[in-house]
Structure 1
Amino acid sequence: MSTTPIIFLFFLFLSATVSTAITTVSSDITALKSIKSGINQKTISSFTCLYSWDFTSDPCSPPHVTHFLCGLSCSGNRVTQLTLDPAGYTGTLSPLVSQLTQLITIDLSDNKFSGQIPNSLFFLPNLQTLILGSNSFSGVIPASISNLKKLQTLDISHNFISGSLPNSLTQLTELTRLDLSYNKLNGALPKLPKNIIQLALKANSLSGYLQKQAFTELTQLEVVELSENSLTGTIPGWFFLIPSLQQVNLAKNSFTGLEILKPVNSNLIAVDLGFNKISGYPPANFSTYPMLASLTLSYNKLRGRIPWEYGKTTTLSRLFLDGNFLIGLPPKDFFSGKTSLSGSLGDNCLKMCPISSGLCLKSQKPLSICKQAYRGKLKPKS
């Protein structure tokens, strides 16, 4: 009789023995029990991950047939991921989450957690991803966040976080994605972590100027989303020269000025500065950005003529200049058919903007308003 089947069965038995021998460390089990108990039991429906957390079996021991079907992952006998399903859980996050010292990922997004984020969470030594977006967390971001030395992604957007951004953020040297949009943050921008690639702080109450010290050493920054805040002053020329910058949204702030320098090399693709208080002439230097495809300067206080250089760029495909006080004739190149330019030049003081062009939708301002804007020095339309 061949011994091969016997050897195979032996190794199969050995494998099964080893797999069932895994026992989650007791501190992890205590933490998981505390996390579940902190959640309103009425929101733990039968189809949710937390419903399957039955501690009559071991969290990390396979196979997971009826218990611990989802919501966590393990490596050996330690919990490494806490990823709850978006089931509408209500309650608070237990401070004992800090006992899960091997956690790499926490994702509690799209639920209804409330209260403060436990300070103990900011002492998890191995955490790389922290996603708490779309909940009802409140309180401030503590200086102790700097302890998360390995953190790469931080998303606490769509909550009720208040206070100012801590200066200790700069110590998160591994952080590449920061999203704190739709909160109640205030104050000025502190110095930002040097390896940030995506920065999103939309819809807060941030104020002050764009200070160069906040963006020092940010050579990898690609996306900046700072719209719907209370930032003010002149948008400085150095800002658009950040080496890797691709997308900028500073719309719906209180900026009053704009400085655009010619780039040496630039990856800038899209800029939205709409709904500010920017005065002066439309910057012709935007035409020197070799990859710029979308430019929005809508509803500011711009005056003068549309730079003819805008009509000569080969990359610009979306241009929104509506809601300003621009005068004269729009560049003929906009209507030559050689480009597929879309956008709007409406609600200005332009002459002879072809009604047949989609660019000219929204009628121009009444002559009386245009005269008032130029203090009566504007000649009547011919």
Structure 2
Amino acid sequence: MANLLPSLSRFFFFFIAAAAVHHRQALSITSPSDVAALKAFKAAVDPSSIPPWSCLASWNFSSSDPCSLPRRSYFTCGFSCSSPSSSSGGGPARITTITLDPAGYSGTLSPLVSRLSRLAVLDLTDNSFRGPIPTSLSSLSALTTLSLRANSFSGSVPAFTGLKALQSLDLSYNSLSGPLPSSLGSLPSLTRLDISFNRLTGSIPKLPPNLLELALRGNSLSGPLSKDSFAGAAQLEVVELAHNSLAGALEPWLFLLPSVQQIDLANNSLTRVDVAAPPAGGGGGLVAVDLGFNRIEGSVPGNFASYPQLSSLTLRYNRLRGDIPAEFGRKATLRRLFLDGNYLKGKPPAELFSSGAAVAFGSLGDNCLRECPATSQLCAPSQKPDAVCKQAYGGRPTS
């Protein structure tokens, strides 16, 4: 019996050791290449910027496997995995999203994140990542959403030529500079593009064919708007280009884009606007137009009133002259009308001041109108002094 004890001891040792190996293998369900990419991602973040309560603080690679369940203590948030059983051939789990909490993380974005070949969402919004955006992100062929909004990324906007599945790109509120890459127009799935409040220069390249929303506010884009840039953008609904240095004339094609509903070009250097009436039975889906704070001269385009759904029109603080078109007083859908800060003269349409007037918000003040009812809030602030108005009209009366 005594001779059996050493044999039994060795048996139990090997049994326990084998069980421990099996347990570790069961825990290691995440693709090794994905684990290496996650390690590199965290290593590129400044450790001092990782609060103890944050998602990244829970990424402990020595204590747990990222995709193991349940996640009670480690890898509690910040990413998600595919199920191993749904992988091809019953392979390992893969990282499909990285969505960080806004904990103030700083550091750089590791180019090795491009090894996450199944990554569909990369969202680092509201943190302090810095440095250039890695060009290697272009290899993430499964990526549908890329949001680096509100960080401190600098350098140029990458070409992103390989992101054929990308639907939403948000790089707003960073320090990106230089021109927009022409390759943006070759992203077939992109529907939302927001690179507002950066330091972009140059003109707008050709837009993606399926784009719905374009937001490039708060940059230094210059030159006139080119029809070629918008050619083929038949689904574009929202155009937000305010606070740039765009100049020249706005031509009728812009307002006749097949699906456009909102156009905001306030705070630019535009000098003229030409508006054509929409064709009968098609187009004319404009709901809101803001061209305030430009240098637009000429008269107020009366054809704006022929857009059946227009409810908000802002042309404030330009250099417009002449009368307010009578059509604006008869337009039942027009709820907001801001024409203040111009040199408009004569008597405004009486319908704007009737008890059933459609316009509920707006201003006709700071013009050269001489019969604007002082009792109406639409006429505030007060009109320009007579001397200013006479000078604007070459000494002729403005009544």
The TM-score normalised by the length of structure 2 is: 0.89
Report if the CA contact (8 A) 2:324-2:344 is conserved.
yes
Q: Which has the larger radius of gyration?
A: 2
Q: CA deviation at 1:239?
A: 0.5
SS of residue in 2 equivalent to 1:106:
strand
- For 2:161, what is the secondary structure of its paired residue? helix
Question: CA-to-partner distance for each residue in 1:197-243, whole Å, 9 max, x for gaps?
Answer: 00000000001111111001111101000000011111010100001
The answer for the alignment partner of 1:7 in structure 2 is none
Task: Tell me if the contact between 1:155 and 1:178 (Cα under 8 Å) persists in the aligned partners.
Answer: yes
The 1-side partners of 2:71 and 2:153 are apart by 31
Q: Please report how far the alpha carbon of residue 22 of structure 1 lies from its aligned counterpart in structure 2 after TM superposition.
A: 5.8
Partners of 1:146 and 1:267 lie apart in 2 by 32
Contact 1:113–1:136 (8 Å) recurs in 2: yes
In structure 2, what is the Cα distance between the partners aligned to 1:339 and 1:179?
37
Structure 2 partner of 1:25: 31
Identity among equivalent positions (%) equals 54
- Taking the aligned partners of 1:38 and 1:165, their CA distance within structure 2 comes to 27
* TM alignment of 1:129-140, pairs within 5 A: 129-140=145-156
- Number of residues paired by the alignment? 362
Structure 1, gaps ≥5 residues long: 1-16
**1:254 to 2:269 alignment:** yes
Matched, 1:87 2:103: yes
The one of 260, 269, 276 equivalent to 2:287 is: 269
Q: CA deviation at 1:62?
A: 1.1
Contact residue 133 and residue 158 of structure 2 kept, 8 A: no
Deviation at 1:338, TM superposition (A): 1.3
- Answer yes or no: is 1:68 the counterpart of 2:86: no
Q: In the aligned structure 2, how far is the partner of 1:168 from the partner of 1:89?
A: 30
CA distance in 2, matches of 1:160, 1:235: 29
Superposition deviation, residue 68 in structure 1: 0.5
> Which of 344, 358, 369 is equivalent to 2:363?
344
Instruction: Kindly provide the CA deviation profile for residues 133-180 of structure 1, in whole angstroms up to 9, marking residues without a partner as x.
Output: 00000010133x111111000000000000101111111010000000
Corresponding residue for 1:153?
168
Q: 2:237 aligns with which of 210, 213, 222?
A: 222
Residues 41-83 of structure 1, C-alpha deviation per residue, up to 9 Å, x if partnerless? 1111111000110112110111111111000000031000000
Q: Residue in 1 aligned with 2:319?
A: 301
Secondary structure of the structure 2 residue equivalent to 1:98: helix
Instruction: After TM superposition, give the deviation of residue 20 of structure 1 in Å.
Output: 4.9
In the alignment, is the contact (CA less than 8 A) between 1:35 and 1:97 conserved in 2? yes
The 1-side partners of 2:82 and 2:293 are apart by: 50
- Residues 153 and 174, structure 2, Cα contact 8 Å, conserved in 1: yes
Q: Which amino acid aligns with 1:325?
A: Y
1:45 is aligned to 51
1:356 positional shift: 1.0
Q: Secondary structure at the match of 1:113?
A: strand
- Measured against aligned partners, the alpha-carbon deviations of 1:69-110 in whole angstroms (never above 9, x if no partner) come to 000000031000000000000111111101111100000000
Distance 1:53 1:301 in 2: 59
Matched AA of 1:40: D
Matched, 1:372 2:391: yes
Provide Cα deviations, 1:255-307, integer angstroms capped at 9, x if missing partner: 00000000123211000000000000000100100000000000000000000
Letter in 2 for 1:152: Q
Instruction: Name the residue aligned to 2:138.
Output: 122
Secondary structure, in 3 states, of the residue corresponding to 2:394? coil
DSSP-derived class of the 2:166 partner = coil
CA distance in 2, matches of 1:221, 1:232: 22
Q: Structure 1 CA distance, aligned partners of 2:111 and 2:291?
A: 42
Q: Distance in 2 between matches of 1:232 and 1:329?
A: 31
How many Å apart are 1:21 and its aligned residue? Answer: 5.6
1:20 touches 1:62 (CA, 8 Å); kept in 2? Answer: no
Write out per-residue CA displacement over residues 168-198 of structure 1, whole angstroms, 9 at most, x where no aligned residue.
1111010000000000000011100010000
Residues in 2 aligned to 1:35 and 1:355: alpha-carbon distance in whole angstroms: 63
Distance, in Å, in 1 between the alignment partners of 2:365 and 2:103 is: 46
Separation in structure 1 between the aligned mates of residue 314 and residue 26 of structure 2, nearest angstrom: 61
Matched with 1:3 is: none
> Equivalents in 1 of 2:70, 2:287: separation in Å?
49
* SS of residue in 2 equivalent to 1:36: helix
Which amino acid is 2:48 matched to? K
Alpha-carbon distance between aligned partners in 1 of 2:370 and 2:28, rounded to the nearest angstrom: 78
